[in-house]
Amino acid sequence: MKILVCIKEIIDPESPLALSEDGAVVQDKNTSYRMNRYDEFALEEAVQIKERAPGTTVTAITVGQLRSSEMLRRALGKGADDAIHIVTGTRFLIPPKKTARLIADYARNKNFDLIFTGVMSEDGMYCQTGPMIASMLGIPFAVSVISEALDHLKGSVAVECEIEGGIRERAAVSLPCLLAVQSGINRPRYPSLSNVLRAKTQEITKIVARDHELSATGSPAGLLGYPPQPDRGVMLEGSREEKAEKLAAILHEKGFV
């Protein structure tokens, strides 16, 4: 069985975030990065399938800046067999449709049985890349997957998808297919020492994306700006004691306590 896992490097949401004058996200020595959390679950799900079905290979792929190779090494450390890096130079925010096109073009004719993605990225929150890859490849998919069970005989996957209000939908999806997984589907592992040592020297396949494959032409160009400051809300000032007293007074006045 051949599995492809799509992972993305994002700016850590805890990291400071600012825009330069031309509206680009500032990346400097204070910027920290990590793997998109939803993709950690996607990778873990693929590695668990590999452990159950010997002979399975897990390939991790990313579309990202030069530095994203380090994240791919982490994916190797967590159990991926090989890694593909579609390099975007210094370009950081790629429209989801472009990312999907690059990955779909790579995956076409490579006979992957399963493609995993996270349900969304924490930075863009588009929820587009996974279903877009599947749609471009003409394969079925499921989103918000919270459990999956492969049925090799039937050639399908039984999935549970989380929908609104905590309700789950059960569905059968034919292989090959793409699953966009929801967080909580598993417990992502830490990289193992033996895998980390292997990953250090393992070659990562690099594919350099051409400029026209990355520019926003044909996709809506999203312009980033700061949101307007909402006028509601007060921040309580003073010592911890004073703040606690003020909050208790406010809630008392409103009749809650």
Touching other proteins, residues 125-164 (CB under 8 A) = 125-128, 131-132, 135-136, 139-144, 160-164
Compose the 42-81 pattern: x for residues touching other proteins by CB under 8 A, - for all others: ----------------------------------------
To other proteins, the closest distance from the beta carbon of 6 in angstroms equals: 15
β-bridge pairing 82-87 and 141-151: unpaired
Q: Which of 154, 168, 200, 206 binds other proteins (CB under 8 A)?
A: 168
To other proteins, the closest distance from the beta carbon of 121 in angstroms equals: 10
Residue owning tokens 């010592």: 239
Piece in contact with other proteins (CB under 8 A), picked from 55-63, 67-75, 119-127, 191-199: 119-127
Nearer to other proteins, 28 or 203 (CB): 28
Q: Quick check: 227 binds other proteins (CB under 8 A)?
A: yes
- Residue whose C-alpha is closest to residue 106's, from 139, 133, 129: 133
DSSP state of 52: H
Q: Which of 169, 205, 206, 208 binds other proteins (CB under 8 A)?
A: 169
Question: 3-state DSSP call for residue 237?
Answer: coil
To other proteins, the closest distance from the beta carbon of 109 in angstroms equals: 19
Give the end-to-end CA distance of the chain in Å, rounded to a whole number.
Answer: 59
Q: What backbone phi and psi angles, to 5 degrees, belong to 6?
A: -95, 120
To other proteins, the closest distance from the beta carbon of 122 in angstroms equals: 7
Residue pair 62/85 in contact (Cβ under 8 Å)? The answer is yes
Q: Which of residues 177-216 bind other proteins (CB under 8 A)?
A: 177, 180, 182-184
Task: Give the bridge partners for 174, in sequence order.
Answer: 156
Residue pair 77/199 in contact (Cβ under 8 Å)? The answer is yes
Q: Which of 165, 203, 212, 253 binds other proteins (CB under 8 A)?
A: 165
Q: Which of residues 231-250 bind other proteins (CB under 8 A)?
A: 232-236, 240-241, 243-245, 247-248, 250
Token pair for residue 87?
Answer: 């390099």
Instruction: Please give the Cα distance from 122 to 125 (Å, whole number).
Output: 5
Q: Which of residues 86-105 bind other proteins (CB under 8 A)?
A: 97
Nearer to other proteins, 62 or 182 (CB): 182
- Residue whose C-alpha is closest to residue 99's, from 114, 84, 111, 88: 88
Residues in contact with other proteins, counted by CB under 8 A, come to a total of: 75
Q: Which helix (H) or strand (E) holds 96?
A: helix 96-107
Nearer to other proteins, 54 or 228 (CB): 228
CA separation, residue 203 to residues 75, 76, 83, 244 (Å) = 13, 11, 8, 56
To other proteins, the closest distance from the beta carbon of 209 in angstroms equals: 19
